[in-house]
């Protein structure tokens, strides 16, 4: 078996043209079953594995895959319940069209970001063999977005602050405003908010400048401030990335102060799980001693009685997929509904 087999050597072995061998792989309907089988048998004997995928996509102008762009660790897509739900919805649509899904992790873009790291992100996006791109957790000024535009790739995402492309959204501020109004009705006037800083590791700290946060965190902060009212006090803290451990670390900042809050609103359910664990370590009961809320309503939220904002995560993924893969889908901007789900982790402020 020759390891250097080519399309030309397969064509010579079968006695056909190179274009006929190419059609066997790329346009099989143009050949008889007998000719295709002779070509594939010769290819197996010679050790030829077929045309290179990237080269084939350049000729056909179709890669047969869409990319999911995320400025997170690659493992985040498989460990974060929201990301898993979004991927599940996106995959449903991709499967219907026999389209592959390529995960494209990039570095975060911030003012003063390392130039070499940003160059690597640009090259990653430039070389991605995809027919379209879904953006998830992407900063508006990220240079990879410019590459998407220059390549003319269809683009769908979850952010209203990104001008290009089509989008599937929720009203982040309005959803959190409703939650803030609910906490105010319960009598809470000192509330802490735990947010994802967008960084894998950091020292737990109070957030005084929200510009470095992801847009959804900023919008949820805004909505909560408006919902609780001007007379209420809001302290915003972070323990780092969106994880239970970060929630525990951030909650410690709020819980161990002399004037601790009577309610803690987490920017996501995973962070809220960490807050509840930090409370239990201190002998505090959610809903009785301190109210705790989340955001997203991932599957585990119901089992621990977490009051949270429900958003249709899987449907968001489906619609993003349809925007890229369903020619009949005409909507360019969709705002999905949210719902405040009240459970046992919240209650009236204790006097």
Question: Is residue 331 assigned to a domain?
Answer: yes
Over residues 293-308, the mean pLDDT reads: 97
> What's the Cα-to-Cα distance from 95 to each of 100, 173, 327, 330, 344, rounded to whole Å?
8, 33, 15, 20, 39
Residue 34 structural domain: 7-51
Residue 1 is assigned to a structural domain of this protein: no
Q: What is the pLDDT of residue 213?
A: 80
Residues 267 and 319 in one domain: no
Is 83 part of a structural domain of the chain? yes
Structural domain includes residue 343: no
For residue 305, the model assigns a pLDDT of 98
C-alpha span between 39 and 344 (Å, rounded): 66
Local confidence band at 265 (pLDDT 50, 70, 90 cut-offs): very high
- Tens of pLDDT along 102-115? 999 888 887 677 78
Q: Could you tell me which residues come within 8 angstroms of residue 221 by beta carbon, excluding any fewer than 6 positions away?
A: 176, 193, 195, 210, 213, 236, 267
162 shares its domain with 69: yes
Asked if 135 and 196 sit in the same domain, the reply is no
Tell me how far CA of residue 12 lies from CA of 7, 35, 55, 294, 309, in angstroms: 9, 14, 21, 65, 65
Average pLDDT of the chain, as a whole number: 89
Q: How far apart are CA 249 and CA 240, in angstroms?
A: 8
- Distances in Å between the alpha carbon of 301 and those of 257, 341, 344? 27, 10, 11
Higher pLDDT, 3 or 81: 81
Determine, yes or no, domain membership for 261.
yes
Half-sphere exposure of 86 (CA within 13 A, CB side): 24
Q: Indicate if 164 and 196 belong to the same structural domain.
A: no
User: Would you say residue 255 has pLDDT above 50?
Assistant: yes
162 and 177 both lie in a single domain: no
Residue 122's pLDDT band (boundaries 50, 70, 90)? Answer: confident
200 & 288 share domain: yes
DSSP string, 191-260: EEEEE--SSSS---EE-S-GGGS-HHHHHHHHHHHHHH-TTSEEEEEE-SSSSHHHHHHHHHHHHTSTT-
In a domain, 277, yes or no: yes
CATH number of the domain residue 76 falls in: 3.40.50.2300
**Structurally, how many domains does the chain consist of?**
3
Phi/psi for 191 (5° steps) reads -125, 140
Average pLDDT over residues 60-77: 81
Per-residue pLDDT of 219-249, as tens digits, reads: 999 999 999 999 999 999 998 888 999 999 9
Q: What is the pTM of this model?
A: 0.80
Alpha-carbon distance of 17 to 52, in angstroms, equals 18
Looking at the fold, whether 176 and 309 belong to one and the same domain comes out as: yes
Q: Are residues 198 and 225 in the same domain?
A: yes
Is residue 80 in some structural domain?
Answer: yes
* Mean pLDDT, range 7-24, rounded to an integer: 88
Closest of 283, 221, 233, 231 to residue 255, by C-alpha: 283
**pLDDT at residue 2 in the model:** 41
For residues 280 and 322, membership in a common domain is answered with no
Q: Is residue 141 part of a domain?
A: yes
The reported pLDDT for the residue numbered 1 is 38
């Amino acid at each position: 078996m020759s390891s250097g087999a080519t399309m030309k050597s397969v064509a010579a072995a079968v006695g056909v043209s190179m274009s006929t061998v190419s059609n066997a792989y790329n346009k099989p309907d143009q050949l008889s079953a007998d000719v295709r089988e002779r070509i594939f048998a010769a290819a197996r004997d010679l050790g030829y594995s077929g045309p290179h995928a990237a080269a084939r996509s350049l000729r056909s102008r179709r890669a047969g895959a869409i990319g999911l762009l995320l400025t997170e660790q690659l493992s985040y897509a498989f460990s974060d319940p929201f990301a898993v739900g979004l991927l599940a919805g996106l995959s449903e649509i991709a499967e219907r069209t026999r389209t592959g899904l390529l995960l494209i992790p990039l570095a975060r873009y911030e003012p003063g970001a390392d130039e070499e790291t940003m160059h690597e992100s640009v090259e990653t996006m430039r070389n991605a063999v995809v027919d379209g791109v879904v953006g998830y957790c992407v900063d508006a000024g990220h240079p990879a977005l410019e590459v998407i535009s220059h390549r003319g790739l269809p683009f769908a995402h979850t952010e209203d602050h990104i001008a290009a492309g089509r989008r599937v959204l929720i009203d982040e501020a309005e959803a959190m405003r409703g939650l803030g109004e609910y906490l105010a009705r319960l009598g809470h006037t000192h509330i802490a908010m735990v947010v994802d800083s967008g960084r894998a590791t950091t020292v737990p700290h109070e957030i005084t400048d929200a510009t470095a946060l992801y847009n959804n965190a900023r919008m949820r902060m805004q909505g909560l401030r408006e919902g609780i009212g001007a007379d209420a006090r809001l302290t915003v803290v972070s323990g780092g990335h969106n994880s239970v451990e970060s929630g525990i670390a951030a909650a410690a900042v709020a819980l161990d102060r002399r004037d601790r809050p009577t309610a803690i609103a987490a920017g996501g359910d995973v962070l809220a799980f960490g807050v509840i664990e930090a409370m239990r370590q201190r002998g505090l009961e959610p809903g009785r001693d301190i109210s705790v809320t989340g955001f997203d309503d991932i599957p585990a939220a119901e089992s621990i009685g977490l009051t949270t904002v429900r958003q249709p995560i899987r449907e968001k993924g489906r619609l993003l997929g349809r925007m890229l893969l369903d020619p009949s889908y005409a909507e360019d901007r969709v705002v999905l509904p949210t719902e405040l789900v009240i459970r046992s982790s919240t209650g009236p402020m204790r006097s």
